[in-house]
Amino acid sequence: MTTLAQTMMTAARSADSGLTGPGELDRYPYAETPAVERVGAPVWETPDAELGRVGRRAAGSRGRGLHGQLVQQLGQMIVSGDLGADRPLVPEEIGQRFEVSRTVVRESLRVLEAKGLVSARPNVGTRVRPVSDWNLLDPDIIEWRAFGPQRDDQRRELSELRWTIEPLAARLAAGHGREDVQQRLGDMVEIMGHAMAQGDSLTFARADAEFHTLLIQVAGNRMLEHLSGIVSAALQVSGGPVTGCDRPNDASLTQHARIVDALAEGDGAAAEVAMRQLLTIHPEVERVVPAPREH
């Protein structure tokens, strides 16, 4: 095993001290928020008294403090439908329910507004916007949809989007011949192989995500490069039943290696074919989306 492989696998394990065993993906410890009546003012009460106490929950914080946790909580509630379209959001009520300051509420609503989830207008206040206004390519919204009632639609849409993006990226990447990038891609395949042998699905998933992100970035198309974060988000939420990247297996590893070989030979057609084959491994498997991961 190379030094890079050893370092990445060690870092993956040490960074996730909550794992109970090798390869077990970390998870958010929250339960799904119960649905509430979708008309009138928000009903914030839930059976879990701690759910609203943002400052006391580590789940969903992503290292962003109260502000990030509140964005996570409200975003999940909106995307799940617990806070339906045109629902008014009163900052004072949110602050009391989640025990946070006006500043935290205001900053959180601004983030949600930037994602298209809410709108704030004078004399109208802040209201939840319909799905048609959401930025569905936002990584947070991708994750929230993947672990809510829309999980099946999200998995299908992500798979279809990957089918559009990645085979083309693989073909284009073959024409750039950057040895450093090809070496890095080869390193990721090696790490995936070692991780699979050790049953370390977490390290496998992280190396896999870097592989696909790097491949898109080296395609030489800035618009495709802009979409690399979407592919990364898709991989993090197990982007659909029609993908060979959902789980460590020999077939997946073989196709990744074939892509690297095709890139080294400058064979764009072979790289595209290998990527298409990778994305259609285990098409019969209907995966159950796991609990959300804490980043």
Q: How far apart are CA 38 and CA 82, in angstroms?
A: 7
Model confidence at 64, pLDDT cuts 50, 70, 90, reads: low
How confident is the model at residue 103, as a pLDDT?
Answer: 92
SS3 88: strand
User: Is 185 within 8 Å of 263 (Cβ atoms)?
Assistant: yes
pLDDT above 60 for 26: no
Does this model's pTM top 0.85? no
How confident is the model at residue 51, as a pLDDT?
Answer: 36
How confident is the model at residue 137, as a pLDDT?
Answer: 87
Model confidence at 223, pLDDT cuts 50, 70, 90, reads: confident
How confident is the model at residue 87, as a pLDDT?
Answer: 87
How confident is the model at residue 239, as a pLDDT?
Answer: 39
Q: What is the pLDDT of residues 108-130, one digit of tens each?
A: 999 999 999 999 998 889 999 99
pLDDT above 50 for 14: no
User: Is 255 within 8 Å of 244 (Cβ atoms)?
Assistant: yes
Q: What is the pLDDT of residues 136-194, one digit of tens each?
A: 989 899 889 888 888 888 888 888 888 889 999 999 999 876 788 889 999 999 999 99
How confident is the model at residue 102, as a pLDDT?
Answer: 92
Q: How far apart are CA 236 and CA 256, in angstroms?
A: 17
How confident is the model at residue 85, as a pLDDT?
Answer: 87
Total residues belonging to the chain:
295
